[in-house]
Structure 1
């Protein structure tokens, strides 16, 4: 009994660390559980990773060891809380590239604060109230453990931890052979290996990727990508060059989702102006956002380049020194003047650098606008669009103008400035605040488009308007399902709600109607190339008027078309029409491989700055 008591006293800090940190990670894992991957399966890789950390602490004497474990407990708890907050909004796990560009959160601190939950900070309860007492007891011991004993314990624990952890890594690598190297599905990795293993793997792969950038470009790889690009081309029979020489006004609307179009609340249309313009345009009702961690910047990148966003972090930061074959440069090479318009800070998302890389002649940012009315994050959509109208009128035709709105940005908390749109019993909820915000933006867009119509601009211009990404985070999905009176809250139904509107208004409304083609933001650039008769090579998207595929690929390896939806985070296939799970077959497995190949090709081009090496 004395030996047991002595052992407990000598290793109380270690025992508590193993139990408490393992418990925290398993509790955190429940936030990622979907019903297909149980939290219980996390126990083995979690306890293994914790034991590996503990084993290393035995290098040090008792007092230093207890301090080290205390600091590690704080760090791990901080990562858990950060991951929880990040997951609530992005439905993804935070990564090293995201942390590197994390200073961007300073401008959207209200958004981050809104995602926080008081319960999150219970993860720090032990480090504040329990661990200091335990460490005091451990440090009060007069005798210390011999170096030989510590090394023996270190070797045994390290061996057991590594051996057990290796088995988990090996099993996952056999199940998803490319997952551990590409990190295309961070949530799935975390669900299978635990948060500690995920973050260690993320750091390793981030460092490895930077080293890989220095390697020479593989001619064989470039030839493979070239071959794919050639096969990916559309035939461009429909509407080829139909608006050649016209202006293009492209409007990216903050957090505009498709479910508000033609929807009402309390007898009031939520977006009456967009509803009206939908009828005057070609409207795509199966159009999806495809953004990743770069959010709005990913949407801009895809629509102007037809390349996939980065698997972690944002292209706008990670690859700001790359060459691109972007839409503005393409227009400029064909005699167009080009400009981007956004009423927020020029350096936010690195726009001041990236827009030059894309070939914009001018970028009208915060300093180019009178900051006469602020709503939410910055300049109101009303002031922004009115001032942009003046700038548009001064542009030399033909031109490409790219406008990005701001007011309808999460968390939609400027309700006192959105107007008097009555959302009834939804008042004060996130969905209610969003409906008020998007109703306000709809009003400003309606006035802007009407003015373009009245001054004759639309007679010589094409207007493309689309939403950049989702408005309602998944942790608020029940609010959305309730608003839409949806009884089935399946994964497929949630995915179907991740649509954003795309409308294309043609001069004299020569083309209009509802288009059921499945598409996404990757497809806008090639569609523009067809309509305006611009060169369109080395792109991953498709022409929406001449689709060679109806598949939409998401950054995490999931994909959807009119028949199937594959959820990579659960490794499950669904029938889109019935919503039922279906077994994997050789055809679906091939589709999954094709998806991963495309994502890999895009990543390779970005990592090696290889866009100008294609077709050489």
Structure 2
């Protein structure tokens, strides 16, 4: 009995750390609220990941060990809180490259605070108790080092337990999902299978090695793999159809903040939510199954995908990580044809690193907040009304042909400037996030209507191709109950994914191209579609021409994909039949498609990591 008391006295800090960390990791896993979550899956990997830290702690003497464990407790607790809030917003897990973007939180803090749950602070309560407790124990000489003896077995025993568990867990996952650990394309699933600590261990290793690899020239094998992926893109169509029919016309892209497809042609209390867009799409091409494909870069990812037809960065934002790269962007190619290229956005030029990124995308002029009269602010910055009114005046002075990329702002989450959106009755949704969103997007629609009317009066509309689309989702899953009620249907896993669509409306000068296109497509496809209409040649695009291709494949950054018939949802590792919504088993054909998805994402990643568009290194 005395022996056990001695062990408890000598190692109480280890025992306490183990219990606290295991409790935090298991409750954290449950808080992610994944359909596929089971405690039994992450129990042993979580134990092993904690034992690795404990093994390291034995390098130190008692006081040093306690401090070491407290520091890791703080680090893990902050990481858990960060993960939970990041997941609520992005439905993904925090990664090391995201730290590069962290200073952006200052400007979108209201969005983050809206999703913060005070119960998250439970994860730091023990720390608030343990730190004062440390100073009490220090005074009572509990950390006496006089009789302390270092034993290698104290390090070896935890490792003997942890390493086999880690090996088996990692091996099982690599067998179930080959290349998942090496590519990190589905972070949530890794955490679900290996626990959050192991996910962050892998992320740290992966991010560090990727940084080093960027300094190493790309291998011939990787180049060949990229060329093979690009060669397999759908080329079965007759590329001469519509080819160059709008060559040298002005190009106007309008990226509307948080414009989701479910509001299009919808009414609330017998009033249209987006009457102006509904009217405009009747004389345009409307793609009603157009998915956003963003990752951690949010709005900037939507810009990046649309203008480059490349996938966003696997972690962090491409606008930060690859701002020094070379790109075959849409404005770059138009500039080669004599276009004047401009971007218009009523916010800070440095936000999302736009001021640097736009230079390498060959933008002649970026009209940011400093170039506008700040007559009225709503939410983050200049109101859409003032912004769009002044943008028309600036566009009138542009040398033609011109490329204008316009990014709106007012309908930004959390949609809390309801007193400035104008009168719009949302009935039972008054005071809810969904109701506030409908008010904000109704306001944005009203301003877009005025803007389009002015373009017509100034004869700009008659000489321009206009594409209007949404950048990303508007309603977080935490608010799906109101959305389900509004749409009049239950929202299952597939329904939720199907709701992640934004409208794409393409209007042409002669209005010859109009109607509704029902095929599945995504933001990566807009550039190739416009390229054909404008007679632009670019062989490095991962999208497809929507007016010629019969393919309906859409690939998402987390490894999810659809071919228009089946939807693979990577966070739950499940396939669904789109017509029946039934879960289906993986076939060899579907497995091959999943592998092709990984290859395509890897190819895009390697182009970015090694700056392969510089001096045409792919050839």
TM bucket (normalised to shorter chain) is: over 0.9
- Is residue 9–residue 137 contact of structure 1 (8 Å, CA) maintained in 2? no
Distance in 1 (alpha carbons) for counterparts of 2:351 and 2:143: 56
Partner residue of 1:192?
A: 193
Q: Does 1:295 align with 2:303?
A: no
CA-CA distance at 1:136 after TM superposition: 4.1
Distance in 2 (alpha carbons) for counterparts of 1:228 and 1:101: 30
Partner residue of 2:63?
A: 63
Give the 5 Å matches for 1:338-353: 338-353=341-356
Partner residue of 2:501?
A: 499
Partner residue of 1:430?
A: 433
Root-mean-square deviation (CA, aligned residues, Å) is 1.6
Give the 5 Å matches for 1:421-460: 421-460=424-463
Distance in 1 (alpha carbons) for counterparts of 2:524 and 2:101: 24
- Is residue 56–residue 158 contact of structure 1 (8 Å, CA) maintained in 2? no
SS at match of 2:482: helix
Q: Which of 550, 555, 558 lines up with 1:556 in the alignment?
A: 558
SS at match of 1:464: strand
CA-CA distance at 1:148 after TM superposition: 4.5
Change (3 A) 1:601 1:320: same
More off after superposition, 532-541 vs 308-317: 532-541
Change (3 A) 1:131 1:485: farther
Partner residue of 1:115?
A: 115
Structure 1: 5+ residue stretches without partners = none
- Is residue 463–residue 506 contact of structure 1 (8 Å, CA) maintained in 2? yes
Partner residue of 1:599?
A: 601
Aligned pairs, number: 615
Distance in 1 (alpha carbons) for counterparts of 2:428 and 2:146: 65
CA-CA distance at 1:596 after TM superposition: 0.7
- Is residue 62–residue 143 contact of structure 2 (8 Å, CA) maintained in 1? no
Give the 5 Å matches for 1:128-167: 128-129=128-129, 132-133=132-133, 136-137=136-137, 140-141=141-142, 143-144=144-145, 148=149, 150-167=151-168
CA-CA distance at 1:131 after TM superposition: 6.2
- Is residue 415–residue 437 contact of structure 1 (8 Å, CA) maintained in 2? yes
SS at match of 1:251: strand
Partner residue of 2:610?
A: 608
Distance in 2 (alpha carbons) for counterparts of 1:145 and 1:510: 88
SS at match of 1:11: helix
* Cα deviation 1:326-349 (Å, max 9, x = unaligned): 110100111111111111111111
CA-CA distance at 1:495 after TM superposition: 0.7
SS at match of 1:384: helix
* Cα deviation 1:482-530 (Å, max 9, x = unaligned): 221112x211100110000000111132221111121111001100111
SS at match of 1:565: strand
Partner residue of 2:568?
A: 566
More off after superposition, 171-180 vs 436-445: 171-180
Give the 5 Å matches for 1:147-296: 148=149, 150-232=151-233, 234=235, 235-296=238-299
Partner residue of 1:54?
A: 54
Partner residue of 1:585?
A: 587
Distance in 2 (alpha carbons) for counterparts of 1:313 and 1:374: 29
CA-CA distance at 1:324 after TM superposition: 0.6
CA-CA distance at 1:144 after TM superposition: 4.3
TM-score, normalised relative to structure 1: 0.97
* Cα deviation 1:76-131 (Å, max 9, x = unaligned): 11000010000001000000100122111111111111111110101111111356
Partner residue of 1:309?
A: 312
- Is residue 303–residue 525 contact of structure 1 (8 Å, CA) maintained in 2? yes
CA-CA distance at 1:550 after TM superposition: 0.6
- Is residue 427–residue 433 contact of structure 1 (8 Å, CA) maintained in 2? yes
SS at match of 1:508: coil
Distance in 2 (alpha carbons) for counterparts of 1:94 and 1:274: 36
SS at match of 1:574: strand
Distance in 1 (alpha carbons) for counterparts of 2:40 and 2:131: 26
Distance in 2 (alpha carbons) for counterparts of 1:483 and 1:473: 15
- Is residue 256–residue 468 contact of structure 1 (8 Å, CA) maintained in 2? yes
